[in-house]
Amino acid sequence: MLNDLKELMEIESIMGKPESGAPFGKKMRKTLDLFLSKANSYGLKTENMDGYCGYAEVGSGKSCIGILCHLDVVPVSDGWSYPPFSLTLDDGYLYGRGVADDKGPAVAALHVLKRLKDENVKLNHRVRLIVGCNEENGSACMKYYVSRGEIPVASFVPDADFPIIGSEKGILHLKVTVPADSRLTDSVEYLCAGDRPNVVPDKAVLRFRKDSEPYNRIKETSGGADANAIFRTESVCTFLAENGYDLNDFSAHLFGDYAEIETRGIAGHAMAPQKGDNAIFKLIAFLKALGGQNCGETVGKVYDSLCSLKAPEKLGIACKDEKSGALTLNFGAVKLEKDRLVLTLDLRLPLCADKDVIVKNIMNAMPEHSACEVLHHAKNLYADENGTLVKTLLKVYAETTGGETYIVKSGGGTYARELPNAVAFGPTFPNAETNIHNADERLKLGDFEKLGEIYYRAVIELDKALK
């Protein structure tokens, strides 16, 4: 089982350029082929659905039970202590990109099917493990499956937390384009951070043009040696300290043609922005500190409304409800494109949130002539707590782990919202930290081994309960 996982993790299955037969890039297709060939070698029936997704299946029966996993992963940033595209076992933990999200669970599920086949277990339903290749970028894979494939009578998705996810927030990705004022465009020639809405960016970079006012200030304060002296000038250091920033997260370099500022934070998943540390906030804070009252409308408004964990309150869009939790906002990316600043935001919406009001309030806080485009919108998922699926899976969880059962409200989005009668079930145990979407993604070896047992029992009990 570990060998299967290792081989899968060695392919960098990050979304790539579409090619014929490989809608999400060559490496993604290679990963899918490898997974299905393994399933085939275990005697399972397989089908590759045009490189979008595929499935492995065991058993006979008119209808099927689904297990839904994904083989794509998010890119890696700096800060890994282990090689990200390899499997490392250290001190009882497995490390590497995808080990928890979601290649580890996919391999655990594959071995559940293998075990059912090897033990010749007789079930009333077929068991179909569907693996997709675009979960991290909008789940076009599962939409493709749903439009062509057989819909299982019930499905679980090993791509979130135990005991079970009863509610998933709505997801809204926005691209907000803000006119950059001359204060910004005259001095900044490059500004870029983050490349995805659903990740908290851990690095942000900007370059000031040679001989621009900030360039000259950095040069003067450096004394010809230490460009970082700019952060110790009174106005800058006071503003940054007042706003709780650590100067160690900032660095400056003077080059012949430009001066570069870099800020660093901690990556994380957009559904819990407070667990990360957003490098964009720091970069814009520096611009604001440097310009003071005259930082310009673009920087002023973007900083005041978006560069803080309190952004939902500041924008007047904060809300929460009992069934689905609180709204969150992640400022995932920013880029200067000619005379426009392009901001990418990821919002996770409780049932009570109104998408149109949210867009309106965000736009009200932006400078005039800003524009907003909805890149992606997925509705909330709310599972029936008293339905067979939820009750059966919770019973299996309690019996196999002895753990307390309750229903988790999540900001994460999984395949569960793509098809009827599906819920996310594991693989992260309560209080375990798996660092998904971050450096040193990990999964306890003991937990990985438990997954196989839980999912095996889940299939057997669902088969009985669904009749």
Residue 440 sits in the site that holds Zn ion (CB under 5 A): no
Q: How far is CA 115 from the centre of its chain?
A: 31
Q: What is the CA angle 118-153-430, rounded to 5?
A: 75
Indicate the burial class of 59 (C-beta count within 10 angstroms; 0-12, 13-18, 19 or more): buried
Q: Indicate the residue among 267 and 334 with the shorter CB distance to Zn ion.
A: 267
At closest approach, how far in Å is the CB of 132 from Zn ion? 10
Token pair for 228: 């970082």
Segment near Zn ion (CB under 5 A), from 154-162, 261-269, 270-278, 378-386? Answer: 154-162
The whole-angstrom separation of Cα 71 and Cα 209 is 42
Chain residues 305-324 in contact with Zn ion, contact rule CB under 5 A? none
In one-letter notation, the amino acid at residue 463 is D
Tokens of 165: 């996810």
Site string for Zn ion, 155-174 (x = CB under 5 A): ----x---------------
Supply the minimum distance, in Å, between the C-beta of residue 457 and Zn ion.
22
Question: Which member of 12, 101, 262, 463 binds Zn ion (CB under 5 A)?
Answer: 101
* Nearest to Zn ion of 312, 413 (CB atom): 413
CA distance 293 to 398: 58
CB of 137 to Zn ion, least distance (A): 11
Residue with tokens 């793509």: 418
Cβ proximity to Zn ion: between 106 and 366 the closer is 106
Site stretch for Zn ion (CB under 5 A), options 53-61, 152-160, 307-315, 357-365: 152-160
Question: Burial of 386 by CB count in 10 Å (0-12 exposed, 13-18 middle, 19+ buried)?
Answer: exposed
Minimum distance between the CB of residue 206 and Zn ion, rounded to whole angstroms?
32
> Which pair of tokens denotes residue 417?
């919202």
Are 344 and 194 in contact, with CB atoms under 8 Å apart? yes
Residues that contact Zn ion, how many (by CB under 5 A): 3
- Sole window of 153-161, 194-202, 309-317, 349-357 interacting with Zn ion (rule: CB under 5 A): 153-161
Bond preceding residue 33 cis, omega within 30 of 0: no
Structure tokens at 466: 């669904």
Give yes or no for residue 57 binding Zn ion (CB under 5 A): no
Residues 6+ apart with CB under 8 A from 217: 230, 233, 290
Instruction: Give min distance, CB of 135 to Zn ion, in A.
Output: 6
In the complex with Zn ion, the residue whose CB is nearer, 218 or 436, is 436
Instruction: Please state the closest distance from residue 447 (CB atom) to Zn ion, in A.
Output: 16
Nearest residue (CB) to Zn ion, 141 versus 289:
141
One residue of 4, 12, 72, 102 binding Zn ion per CB under 5 A = 102
Q: Which residues are at the interface with Zn ion (CB under 5 A)?
A: 101-102, 159
